[in-house]
Structures are given as C-alpha cells and as structure tokens.
Chains A and B, each alone.
Chain A
Amino acid sequence: MAFDIGLALLVLGVGAWTVAARDTFAAVVGFVAYGLLLALVWVRLAAPDVALTEAALGSGLTGGLLVGASTRLRRSETRAVDERQPASLRLAAAVLCTLVSAGVAAIVLLLPEPAPTLAPQAMVNMAATGLGNPVTAVLMAYRAIDTLLETVVLLLALVGIWSLAPDRVWGGVPGPRHQAEPDGRLTFIAQLLVPVGILVGIHIFWIGSVAPGGEFQGATILAAMWILAMMAGLVDAPAVSRRWLRLMLVAGPAVFLTIGLTGFAVAGSFLAYPEPHAQLLILMIKIPVTLSIAATLALLVAGPPERA
C-alpha cells in the first residue's frame, strides 16, 4: 500500500508539473513520464493489457507527436509566455477545478458495494470465442462493434489531417525528407531496433489471444518502427495518394465490416460469429485490422502532406 500511495503522489506531481512548467518542451517531456507512470498504475490495477497500450500509445506515440509539434512551435513560444491571466480568473478557475475534483472524488467514495461486474459472464462465454484473454474477447467478440467503429474513427481522423494539406502538395508526401547519415547514431539505432521491434510487435499482437497484448498494442509498436525508419531516413514516407497505401488503410475496417455483415446470414445478427468458426473468423479480422491500425497510427504522426 505504501508503494501505491507513493506512486499516486508521483503521478499527481508529474501531472501538475506538465501544467505548471513554463517551457512547453519541458511540459511535453513531463507528459511522457506521466504516461509511463500511469502504465505502472495500470499494472497495479491488474490491467496489464491497458498498461501496454498506455506505455506504447498514451506515452510513446502521443509523446513523439507532441515533441515534434513543440519543436515546430518554438518560435511562437516567446510571445505567448507574457500572456498571464489576471489573479481573479486564476482563483475562479482553481475553485471550479477543485469542485470538479471533489465531485469525482465523491463518486469514487460512494460507488455501490458490492461492485457490479461483468467478469463472470466474460469468463463463462470465453470458450465460445476460442480466446484465452478476456480483454481481447471483449474487444473482438462481445463488443466487436466498438472496435469496428474505432478503426473507422482512426481513418476519419486521418482524412481530417490529410485534408489540411495546401493545394500545391495535395496527395503528396507527409513530413520533411529525412536524410540518412550512413554513420549517424539515429541510423544505427534504427537499423538495430527496427527488425527487433517488428518481431516484438508481431509477438505482442499474436500473444494477445491468450495473454496480455493484442491488436492495438502490437499495431502501435509496428507503427513506431515505421516512424523510426522514416525519421532515420532509411525509408521515405509514401505519397498519401498511393493506391497500395489506401488499400492497406481500409483493408482492416473493410474485412471487419464484411465478416460482420456475413454474421446476419450465418449466425443471425451483425458481428455474430458462427460458433465452431469463431476463432478463425476473429483471426481473419485481427490480421488486416492490425496492419491497418499500424499504418493509420504512423500516418497520423507523420501529419498532412508537405511535399509534392
């Protein structure tokens, strides 16, 4: 318990630092630490699947995105720092936020006892899905429609980002061109880490059926490896109008939707899997979905096209 109290205080302290820090870059670094500490909290809360997602996505990819943005926005920093708010407004905001926190805390303290749970139902029906990880069973079977909609949300966000491209580079290549330095440190790290990272990503994806891991965690690691290879200049980002790229992006949601619709014919409802084939169908969905999510995540970080 002492460890938990210390960890909770540390998370709070680092969280407060990301708000209080004067320098945006420092705040972003604080946010990455905040994400990693949260991943530890998730382990303490017996949620290793969430811990993996938090570390890879909440801390890693989000951190990379924000570091890139804060570097590009450096020039606008100096002017913004002087805009301090009046003390009365600060006080009002502090009172409001304290009230909101107190409200949430009251909810935490007044949660019903015994706690409602769906864990027994999740375990009882898991045999029918052929999966051994209850969280994956929720994501791929019980609440598959959430996962389907989520893959669509990712695509919509990417369409939103691409549509920010100026006319002259419409459908072009995202991000600046990174030149590979044959003897550079980044090139060396990328050459060393990318092959290993790809294997780790595939492993995390595959093991997710029976142990902590899964599509999103694996896809995030694969996306990070692609981003690393692009940043080191080992590969260039593809033009966003490329047909193979677009096919890769929509393959996951398309297969998911097709199998979901087939559920009407063979099992009586949308996204219902006929029982003896559930495991195979889930696998058929997972592989293209993981590829599509990995590509989408990497391109979300890469941003809108900047070169023709």
Chain B
Amino acid sequence: MRAMTEATLYGLCSAALVGVGLFGLIMHPQPLRKILAFNLIGGGVFLLFGAVARRGAAAGLGGDPVPQALVITGLVVAFAATALAVALLLRLFQETGRATLGSDG
C-alpha cells in the first residue's frame, strides 16, 4: 500500500462522484435532474484526469499540462452539450406541457 497522496485522495473522490452521479442519472425521473446528474459524472471524470495530471508532475510543473488542457476542452464541450440538452427539454415542455420521460407519454 503506497502512501496516500493528494492525487490518490482526489482520484478516489472522483470515483465516488462518478457513482453518485450515475445513481442520480438512473433514478431521477425528471430530465433536468438527469442533466444535473450527468454533469456530476462529468465533474468526476474530469477530476480523474486531474489526479492523473497531478501524478505526472515533472520538469518544474505541478502537473502534466496535456491532461489539464484536455479537461479545459472537455469542460467547454460539456457546457455546449448541457445547453443543447436544456434547450431540447424546454422545447419538449413547450410542446407537450410535460417535462418527464414517463412511459405513459
């Protein structure tokens, strides 16, 4: 068992976040809550990248800049996807007056 570093600690935290977010994604009937939960999973995955980047600290840098840059790209794309999902949901509500994904619709 290696000594607990902050990279390992936040890596384990990211694993737990992915699980919590996945639970919300499966269990919540409201699409907006699913979008929220999906973003929670996203935060966990990005944090995993952060832990990996931190372990790659070298050459006077506190972390490997390549996974860090990937996370910045990822955050922007996640935002764009969230905005599209929210727009689809609001349009669904506007058309049908409902905002759930129940089987009776």
Assess A123 versus B80: contact at CB under 8 Å? Given A90-B27, A97-B23, A147-B73: no
Measured CA separation A293–B73 after assembly (Å)? 12
Which residues B50-83 have CB closer than 8 A to chain A? 50-66, 68-73, 75-83
* Smallest Cβ-Cβ distance to A155: which chain B residue: B80
Contacts of A124 in B (CB 8 A): 59
A-B contact pairs, 16 of them (CB 8 A): A4-B10, A49-B68, A49-B69, A54-B46, A58-B79, A73-B32, A73-B90, A104-B48, A108-B15, A111-B11, A118-B56, A118-B64, A119-B63, A135-B72, A161-B83, A161-B87
Shortest CB distance B82–A (Å): 6
Could you say which interface size class chain A belongs to?
35 or more
Measured CA separation A138–B4 after assembly (Å)? 29
B 13-35 to A, binary, CB cutoff 8 A, 1 in contact else 0: 11111111111101111101101
Q: Are B32 and A69 closer than 8 Å at their CB atoms?
A: yes
Contacts of A303 in B (CB 8 A): 83, 86-87, 90
Measured CA separation A27–B80 after assembly (Å)? 20
- B-to-A contact residues, CB < 8 Å: 2, 4, 6-24, 26-30, 32-33, 35-37, 39-40, 43-44, 46-48, 50-66, 68-73, 75-84, 86-91, 93, 97-100, 102
- A-to-B contact residues, CB < 8 Å: 1, 4-5, 8, 11-12, 15-16, 18-19, 24, 27-28, 31, 34-35, 38, 41-42, 44-47, 49-50, 53-54, 57-58, 61-62, 65-66, 69-70, 72-73, 76-77, 79-80, 83, 85, 89-90, 93-94, 96-98, 100-105, 107-109, 111, 113, 115-120, 122-124, 134-135, 137-139, 142-143, 146-147, 150, 153-154, 157-158, 160-161, 164, 214, 216, 293, 297, 300-301, 303-304
- The main secondary structure of chain B at its interface with chain A is helix
Q: Are B32 and A45 closer than 8 Å at their CB atoms?
A: no
> B18 is contacted by which of A50, A104, A116, A157 (Cβ under 8 Å)?
A104
Q: Are A53 and B50 closer than 8 Å at their CB atoms?
A: no
Measured CA separation A75–B35 after assembly (Å)? 18
Q: Are B99 and A80 closer than 8 Å at their CB atoms?
A: yes
Q: Are B61 and A123 closer than 8 Å at their CB atoms?
A: yes
A-B contact count (CB 8 A): 290
> B83 is contacted by which of A1, A103, A301 (Cβ under 8 Å)?
A301
Measured CA separation A100–B2 after assembly (Å)? 23
Measured CA separation A98–B60 after assembly (Å)? 37
- The main secondary structure of chain A at its interface with chain B is helix
Q: Are B86 and A24 closer than 8 Å at their CB atoms?
A: no
* Smallest Cβ-Cβ distance to B28: which chain A residue: A19
> B87 is contacted by which of A24, A89, A113, A164 (Cβ under 8 Å)?
A164
Q: Are A34 and B43 closer than 8 Å at their CB atoms?
A: yes
Q: Are B19 and A97 closer than 8 Å at their CB atoms?
A: yes
Contacts of A116 in B (CB 8 A): 56
* Smallest Cβ-Cβ distance to B5: which chain A residue: A1
Q: Are A119 and B65 closer than 8 Å at their CB atoms?
A: yes
Contacts of B63 in A (CB 8 A): 45-47, 119
Measured CA separation A24–B100 after assembly (Å)? 13
Shortest CB distance A85–B (Å): 6
Q: Are A300 and B79 closer than 8 Å at their CB atoms?
A: yes
Measured CA separation A27–B36 after assembly (Å)? 8
